[in-house]
Amino acid sequence: MTTPLLQVKNLRIEFPSRRGTLVAVDDISFEIAPGEVLGVVGESGAGKSLTGAAVIGLLEPPGRIASGEILLNGRRIDNLPFEEMRKVRGREIGAIFQDPLTSLNPLYTVGRQITETIETHLNVSKAEARDRAIKLLTETGIPAAEKRIDHYPHQFSGGMRQRVVISLALAAQPKLIIADEPTTALDVSIQAQIITLLKKLCREHGTSIMLVTHDMGVIAETADRVAVMYAGRIAEIGPVSEVIHNPQHPYTIGLMGAIPSVGDEVERLTQIDGAMPRLTAIPSGCAFNPRCTRVNDVPDGRCTRERPSLLPAGKTQAACWLHDKNTASVAGVSKETSHV
Amino acid sequence: MSDSKILLEVRDVAREFDVSKPWLNRMIEGQPEQILKAVDGISFTINRGETLSLVGESGCGKSTMARVICGLYKPSRGEVIFDGVDMAKVHGAELQNLRKRFQMIFQDPYASLNPRWRVGKIVAEPILSHNLITDPAALKKRVDELLTQVGLSPLDAEKFPHEFSGGQRQRISIARALSSNPEFLVCDEPTSALDVSVQAQILNLMKDLQRKFGLTYLFISHNLAVVSHISTRVGVMYLGRLVEVAETKRIFQRPLHPYTQMLQSAIPDLKMTGKQRTPVAGEVPNPLDPPTGCAFHPRCPYANERCKVERPSLIEHPDGGQVACHAVEEKRIPIRLAA
């Protein structure tokens, strides 16, 4: 087995506040293989963006990594000094954010921003950097790149700007790209263009992607594996088609049923009652237990007492006591969950 | 009240915005006035008890259309006819009477509720402004009943909006909209600020209320999956014009207009993992300078000379619904069935 490109081990992100410490991400572990696209999906406040920010070393204080390790190519990067981390950022990890207007500097031409990145990280001359920038812009589908390179961000439309951001992320040929909601601000027709482009480029360059989004449709099309987050924890992780067609965690099952889909003639959508808990009031045991319909299928109120770790479930892994061997024989989970 | 099947009719409505620079700048720089045609000649009808959705990408004028219908904008041209009455021709008490029969739900539940008012006061406001109930005890009873109907507790009436999550706030907006016993609700992207599981709760609630009170909805959204779930009929908008209107099933299974076909193939699909979306070249043109003829022609694979000069009108199609496309009319487009 190849060594994973990125390893996140028992990551915990805390926000110290006057009313006590808030745990935004609580003990999560996952890996990304070279060339793999890992989708991270969840509702707002699930901690998905924070996980991305922690990997790239851009957690906003007072948020901090309280424990755990992040390893890139086997090298620990979560405790690097600022200057060292700056070299990793851009060179080894690229980033694409949701709003292309705020991730570009409005005062510099797009060409200057891209060549700056290339010159900082790669040992090339000015002229060569410019050539590369033009090549990148052409690759991302910007027409007349030789001319457009000297334009300012405001002269581009939303979709074109996101293409510039992608060129910028790819400029120093990083091994990993953190894409945080890259298509959320775009219209559907543009969204399709950007997703296709991102997939194509990463295949060609052999880049891994950590794709953070709330849109399961984007994940379905792009990712190889997906991690479903809930209240700062991973509820389920596994191959995309398994998680979508045969989800194992009650939260994932509910989430899949809640997404309306074209051509589906259902009168009512599956409804998960209640809302995600606030960080100040995360329930003990499994964080999903107050909303879970199957909490009584696990004996002795274990769901409310003991936090489940990721257990093998079907072809995925789910953090749910229903999949514990001892429980499973009691509740008959394997039969019941498969058809939901 | 007339007995006709049609509750609302929109006839050739246009809404223009003057986005010119100040007069002095125009004189010095020699620039002409700039008029943005947000809605450019739209006609449709909504039948009683149905849900008509308007879909389109940002800037296509769908929200402007909703505001014109609610009377928040005056149309620059055309008529909005509610239950047989031309809205522009009634005034005073008569207009008030008409107004209480329709309400609006907005996109952002954080911006549409007054943060300094308690929920009870927010919900009671339409009742008081239309003088429906004056007795305080009866009013309180009515507010409690409304809050229960949308899945909140009567105790919530004493709280402020900031104490609620996005989904609960949208429930408050719905309770407020229902308080004057309207027949017609205009919903402008009511779920697009919400997470999927909360969106499912709100969509289910809206469907339940529709069945219970026989409500008619105009639903504005950019999310085609949501639209296909909730609508009876769908109208597709592009650059201020309606390009296709038809039954939901027909429009998603047999989209006729090239733009509808494009939107349909661009829907991210959960079912077919690995399916390639057909990305369509180009972007929505600047609405200040819309293309001549059919507004979609620069992006349309079937465009010809006629499309560049002559604006197509919305005409009945034998397969049901109406389409505004020369290529469809001349049968130049291969029919695409959904997989």
- Output the CA–CA distances (angstroms, integers) from residue B244 to A296, B252, B255, in the order listed: 50, 12, 9
Cβ atoms < 10 Å from Cβ of A275: 18
CA quadruple A24, A28, A34, A35: dihedral, nearest 10 = -60
* CB atoms B197 and A191 under 8 Å: no
* CB atoms A241 and B165 under 8 Å: no
* pLDDT in the model for residue B20: 83
pTM: 0.85
* pLDDT in the model for residue A7: 94
Gap between the Cα atoms of B311 and B114, Å rounded: 44
* pLDDT in the model for residue A282: 87
| pLDDT beneath 50: ranges in chain B | 273-274, 339
Give A127's pLDDT tier (boundaries 50, 70, 90).
very high
A50 Cβ neighbours under 8 A, 6+ residues apart: A13, A24, A25, A59, A63
CA distance B210 to chain A (A): 13
Do the beta carbons of residue B160 and residue B119 sit within 8 Å? yes
CA B92 to chain centre: 26
* CB atoms B228 and A192 under 8 Å: no
> By C-alpha distance, which of B163, B209, B165 is closest to B187?
B209
* CB atoms A215 and B268 under 8 Å: yes
The shares of helix, strand and coil residues in chain B, as percent rounded to the nearest 5, are 35, 20, 40
* A219-265 pLDDT per residue, tens: 888 899 999 999 999 999 999 999 999 999 999 999 988 988 887 77
Residue A279 tokens, joined: 């960080």
Half-sphere exposure of A181 (CA within 13 A, CB side): 16
* pLDDT in the model for residue A327: 64
Q: Is B268 on the interface with A (CB under 8 A)?
A: yes
Residue A338 has pLDDT above 50, yes or no: no
* B window 226-255, beta carbon within 8 A of A: 226, 228-230, 252-253
CA B78 to chain centre: 18
The interaxial angle of helices A158-170 and A110-121, nearest 10 deg, is 10
CA distance A22 to chain B (A): 19
Query: What does pLDDT average to over chain A?
Result: 87
A175 Cβ neighbours under 8 A, 6+ residues apart: A5, A34, A72, A73, A92, A93, A206, A207, A208
Cβ atoms < 10 Å from Cβ of B41: 17
Count of pairs with CB atoms under 8 A, one residue in A, one in B: 134
- Output the CA–CA distances (angstroms, integers) from residue A216 to A17, B133, B190, in the order listed: 33, 46, 20
By C-alpha distance, the chain B residue nearest A217 is: B268
CA distance A189 to chain B (A): 6
Question: CA angle, corner A45, sides to A240 and B165, nearest 5?
Answer: 120
Structural domains of chain B ordered from first start:
1-94+184-192+214-267+279-339 (3.40.50.300)
Query: Between A158, A189, A195, which is nearest B262 by CB?
Result: A189
> By C-alpha distance, which of B273, B227, B244, B264 is closest to A219?
B273
* CB atoms B200 and A258 under 8 Å: yes
Q: Is B205 on the interface with A (CB under 8 A)?
A: no
Half-sphere exposure of A167 (CA within 13 A, CB side): 31
* pLDDT in the model for residue A268: 84
Question: CA angle, corner A160, sides to A158 and A162, nearest 5?
Answer: 70
A228 membership: H or E segment, kind and range: strand A225-230
Chain A residues whose beta carbon lies within 8 Å of the beta carbon of residue B197: 43, 254-255, 258, 271-272
The secondary structure of B275-326 as a DSSP string is PPP-PPSS-PPPTTSPPSSSTTGGG-TT--HHHHHSPPP-EE-TTSSEE--H
* CB atoms B196 and A263 under 8 Å: no
> By C-alpha distance, which of B109, B85, B305, B131 is closest to B191?
B109
By C-alpha distance, the chain B residue nearest A253 is: B197
Q: What are phi and psi of A218, to 5 degrees?
A: -65, -40
Decide yes or no: CATH 1.10.10.10 for domain A34-57+81-228.
no
* CB atoms A262 and B58 under 8 Å: no
Residue A336 has pLDDT above 50, yes or no: no
* CB atoms A187 and B222 under 8 Å: yes
* pLDDT in the model for residue B272: 55
Residue B185 tokens, joined: 């609700």
Gap between the Cα atoms of A296 and A244, Å rounded: 25
Question: CA angle, corner A196, sides to A101 and A235, nearest 5?
Answer: 85
Residue B70 tokens, joined: 């609610």
For the segment A123-148, the average pLDDT, to the nearest whole number, is: 90
By C-alpha distance, the chain A residue nearest B274 is: A221
Residue A1 has pLDDT above 60, yes or no: no
Do the beta carbons of residue B230 and residue B206 sit within 8 Å? yes
The secondary structure of A140-196 as a DSSP string is TT-TTHHHHTTS-GGGS-HHHHHHHHHHHHHTT--SEEEEESTTTTS-HHHHHHHHH
* pLDDT in the model for residue B338: 53
Residue A178 tokens, joined: 């953190």
- Three-state DSSP at B219 gives strand
Chain B residues whose beta carbon lies within 8 Å of the beta carbon of residue A261: 225, 228-229, 269-271
* A140-176 pLDDT per residue, tens: 888 888 999 999 998 888 888 888 999 999 888 899 9
* A290-301 pLDDT per residue, tens: 999 888 888 888
* CB atoms B225 and A262 under 8 Å: yes
B263 membership: H or E segment, kind and range: helix B258-265
Do the beta carbons of residue B1 and residue B83 sit within 8 Å? yes
| Percent of all residues in chain A with a pLDDT value above 90, rounded to a whole number | 41
Chain B residues whose beta carbon lies within 8 Å of the beta carbon of residue A240: 273
* CB atoms B196 and A216 under 8 Å: yes
Domain residue spans of chain A: 34-57+81-228, 247-260+283-340
* pLDDT in the model for residue B166: 85
* pLDDT in the model for residue A55: 92
CA distance A287 to chain B (A): 16
Cβ atoms < 10 Å from Cβ of A209: 26
* pLDDT in the model for residue A337: 43
DSSP secondary structure code for residue A24 in this structure: E
